[in-house]
A and B are shown apart, each in its own frame.
Chain A
């Protein structure tokens, strides 16, 4: 109760209770997933700016509500305009009832509305809930997809792509035998083996690869660091 009382978002929401959805659906998702306790979800400033903007324009919230915080995800023109305007100015909103589309000349900036998503996805990743992280990324509104950090996460967390390749390694029985019988002599070093032949040994993999440049390799060597 105290949290709700002190939370400006909650206060704002309660003062617009007839117009404002009780909790954005993505916020609800975060709460359901245990990322935020009820009442602890902190929307980005864009949301509060949006509420003020909507009230000044006397827009029914349902007309504005799409995308990240205010309603269903499918983009609608009023919200696109709203987002453009909110991005243009951090100080407030312009007067007037129309929202003319204005070209943005500013350089690409991280999308502020992406921050809650990034925080949530990163928390899932840190807690090793990969499936949930992917689910969260799949729910990202389209206008946030171009955010560089979101794009990076989508790339890194994408499912692995597996392809068959018609190549084979050679029988490494001799290498295994060499490691068993001779390996103890090379502790702390990298070795390159071809069969039971020691091709090279070095303190680091980089040095080992340098040494191997002068060796004719009929097949890929087995590289191993003896700890």
Chain B
């Protein structure tokens, strides 16, 4: 028997009239949603992955980040990290092991916006791992970022729902 009580969700409407996930008690489970893409031309990812849009603080543009709940940390593209002046930071030195190999970098604190197409966006004071040697793109990992966000994915229409815990 499933040990946890079932939590029921449904699609409802928030105050702004946007379609959002709400719990049975009427409390919003998420407050924003955006359309994700499950494949980007030029990405090294061959299989379908979830790429959501984020806006790192002060970058002045929106970029893709792959949703990866299995990643211990969020990772920023090395050039994005450089533009945010995170590569010269004094964060905690940490090595990570990935399928691209092991890399040395630092954990840094920065602000990232998860941007909404509907509803509200989220600003997250997050911990991200950055390294000048990182050859991959950006990831949203669990530790330091997703751990304080409710989220859900609807693959039928490529919708990413999100809200604060």
Q: Decide if B82 touches A155 in the complex (CB within 8 Å).
A: no
Q: Which residues of A contact B83 (CB under 8 A)?
A: 205-206, 209
- Given contact pairs A161-B125, A187-B42, A220 touches B92 in the complex (Cβ within 8 A): no
Choose from B42, B92, B123 the contact partner of A162 (Cβ within 8 Å).
B123
Q: How many residues of chain B are within 8 Å of chain A by beta carbon?
A: 54
Size of interface on A: residues with Cβ below 8 Å to B: 49
Could you tell me the distance between the alpha carbons of A125 and B122 in the complex, rounded to whole angstroms? 26
Minimum C-beta distance from B102 to chain A (A): 11
Determine if B94 and A160 form an interchain contact, defined as CB atoms under 8 angstroms apart.
Answer: no
Min CB gap B163→A, angstroms: 8
A159 within 8 Å of B (CB atoms): yes
Among candidates A160, A183, A222, residue contacting B127 with C-beta atoms closer than 8 Å: A160
* Residues of the A chain whose Cβ atoms lie less than 8 Å from the Cβ of B127: 156-158, 160
Whether A184 is near chain B, meaning CB under 8 Å from some CB there, is yes
B56: nearest chain-A partner, CB-CB:
A223
- Say yes or no for B64: interface residue by CB 8 A criterion: yes
Q: Are A160 and B115 in contact (CB under 8 A)?
A: no
A162 contacts B41, CB within 8 Å? Answer: no
* B92 close to A225 (CB less than 8 A): no
1/0 per residue, CB under 8 A from A, across B24-45: the answer is: 0000000100110100111110
The answer for the CA separation of A152 and B107 in the assembled complex, in Å, is: 10
Interface residues of chain A: helix, strand, loop or mixed (majority): mixed
B22 within 8 A of A: no
Interface residue B164 (Cβ < 8 Å from any Cβ of A): yes
Question: For residue B43, which residues in chain A have a CB less than 8 angstroms away from its CB?
Answer: 227
**Min CB–CB distance A51 → chain B (angstroms):** 32
B115 CB contacts on chain A under 8 angstroms: 167-169
Q: Once the chains are docked, how many angstroms separate the CA of A95 from the CA of B34?
A: 70
Contact A125 B94 (CB under 8 A): yes
B90 partner residues in chain A, CB cutoff 8 A: 152
A residues near B75, Cβ cutoff 8 Å: none
Taking a contact as CB atoms under 8 Å apart, the answer to whether A223 and B120 are in contact is: no
On A, residues with C-beta under 8 Å from B are 122, 125-126, 128, 130, 152-153, 155-173, 176, 179-180, 183-184, 186-187, 190, 192, 204-206, 209, 212, 217, 220-227
Can you list 19 contacts pairing A with B, beta carbon distance less than 8 Å? A122-B92, A130-B144, A156-B127, A160-B125, A160-B145, A160-B149, A161-B124, A164-B122, A171-B35, A172-B62, A172-B117, A184-B42, A186-B42, A204-B79, A205-B79, A206-B79, A206-B82, A223-B62, A224-B64
Given contacts A157-B127, A183-B40, 20 further A-B contacts (CB under 8 A): A157-B107, A160-B125, A161-B124, A161-B125, A162-B125, A163-B122, A164-B120, A164-B121, A165-B113, A167-B120, A169-B55, A172-B117, A183-B42, A184-B41, A192-B61, A206-B79, A212-B61, A223-B63, A226-B41, A227-B137
